[in-house]
């Protein structure tokens, strides 16, 4: 039996694929390479190139590879861009998830781990986000992820009395960084680490947007979590579903304390050996002072731990990016 990984050629998805293989599970990738990289897919893992919007392809893949479950990572992940492209965002993230669930039901596949997002919370007014913190998404991207969670919930209710009721969980995470394989790096043009790395590679000075926030050093505080830990949590969730163990409908994969942008910049200078003083720019509209989540539930059920220091996060990400140059 296999585990299908949608978006398995992306930055996060390809780490999940590697973690599944290391755990003795049999991953199979579905990816249309709209944002993934073919080179990120391990050569010994079956690769089906195509979109999750193609119901026939998805159902055929589930049947041909005797799928035990799905880890659903595919999606349009750019929150800011989603404001300009809401229809595309909903097509990829909402309709894509609906079609996937439809194909799973037809193929008799009843386990799914959904890659959700901290964007479902929007700008929370609490210092520490927990699973039942109010959901107030502030972008079509965040809304689409919350609707994805609702789709899983509703399909589980609808199939509860069937022969194969849907079993599911959603993993919400924040700023994913680093690399657990030097062949894979974050290619997003919108994330902090690649933005800073590209600036340094091109000889530019990285920028901090605002240094007058209500935080210890004046810069935003966020959860930064290593992609290797994120991948491990997906595998643990898949194993829990496959083993018939109880599982929560959602888990926050948070650090519990967070790191400031200045702390990240200091670590980048320290690890890379490139001495720089970040430029200070104006605040970006809507940027809250602090967003940090607890990971207590995930620690209890999914062996969630922060196995990497901030220097490890920077070092692994920097080495993978430099190798790609």
Residue whose tokens read 């690769």: 47
How many angstroms separate the CA atoms of 28 and 71, rounded?
10
Query: Which 3-state string (H, E, C) describes the chain?
Result: CEEEEECCCCHHHHHHHHHHHHCCCCEEEEECCCCCCHHHCCCCCCEEECCCCCHHHHHHHHHHCCEEEEEECCCCCCHHHHHHCHHHHHHHHHHHHHHHHHHHHHHCCCEEEEECCHHHHCCCCCCCECCCCCCCCCCHHHHHHHHHHHHHHHHHHHCCCCCCCCEEEEEEECEEECCCCCCCCCCCCCCHHHHHHHHHHCCCCCEEECCCCCCCCCCCEECEEEHHHHHHHHHHHHHHHHCCCCCCCEEEECCCCCEEHHHHHHHHHHHHCCCCCCEEECCCCCCCCEECECCHHHHHHHCCCCCCCHHHHHHHHHHHHHHHC
125-158 b/e (C-beta count within 10 Å ≥ 16 → b): eeebbebebebebbbbbbbbbbbbbebbeebbee
Catalytically annotated residue among 90, 141, 173, 213? 141
141 is catalytic: yes
Q: Which residues are known catalytic residues?
A: 141
């Amino acid at each position: 039996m296999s585990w299908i990984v949608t978006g398995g050629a992306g930055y996060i998805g390809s780490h999940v694929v590697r973690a599944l293989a290391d755990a003795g599970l049999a991953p199979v990738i579905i990816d249309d390479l709209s944002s993934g990289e073919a080179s990120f897919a391990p050569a010994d893992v079956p690769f089906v190139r195509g979109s999750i919007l193609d119901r026939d392809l998805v159902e055929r893949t589930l049947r041909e590879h005797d799928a035990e479950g799905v880890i659903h990572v595919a999606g349009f992940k750019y929150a800011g861009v989603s404001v300009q492209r809401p229809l595309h965002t909903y097509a990829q993230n909402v309709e894509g998830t609906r079609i996937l669930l439809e194909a799973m039901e037809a193929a008799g596949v009843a386990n799914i781990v959904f890659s959700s997002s901290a964007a479902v919370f929007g700008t929370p007014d609490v210092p520490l986000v927990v699973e039942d913190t109010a959901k107030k998404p502030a972008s079509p991207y965040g809304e689409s992820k919350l609707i994805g969670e609702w789709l899983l919930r509703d399909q589980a209710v609808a199939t509860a009395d069937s022969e194969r009721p849907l079993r599911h969980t959603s993993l919400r995470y924040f700023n994913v960084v680093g690399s657990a394989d030097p062949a894979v790096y974050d290619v997003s043009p919108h994330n902090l680490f690649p933005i800073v790395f590209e600036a340094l590679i091109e000889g530019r000075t990285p920028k901090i947007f605002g240094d007058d926030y209500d935080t210890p050093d004046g810069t935003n505080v966020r959860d930064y979590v290593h992609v290797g830990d994120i991948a491990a949590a997906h595998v643990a969730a898949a194993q829990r579903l496959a083993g018939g163990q109880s599982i929560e409908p959602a888990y926050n994969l948070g650090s519990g304390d967070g790191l400031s942008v200045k702390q990240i910049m200091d670590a980048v200078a320290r690890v890379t050996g490139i001495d720089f003083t970040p430029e200070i720019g104006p605040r970006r509209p809507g940027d809250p002072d602090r967003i940090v989540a607890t990971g207590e539930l995930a620690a209890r059920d999914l062996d969630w731990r922060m196995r990497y220091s901030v220097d490890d996060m920077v070092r692994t990400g920097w080495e993978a990016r430099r190798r790609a140059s």
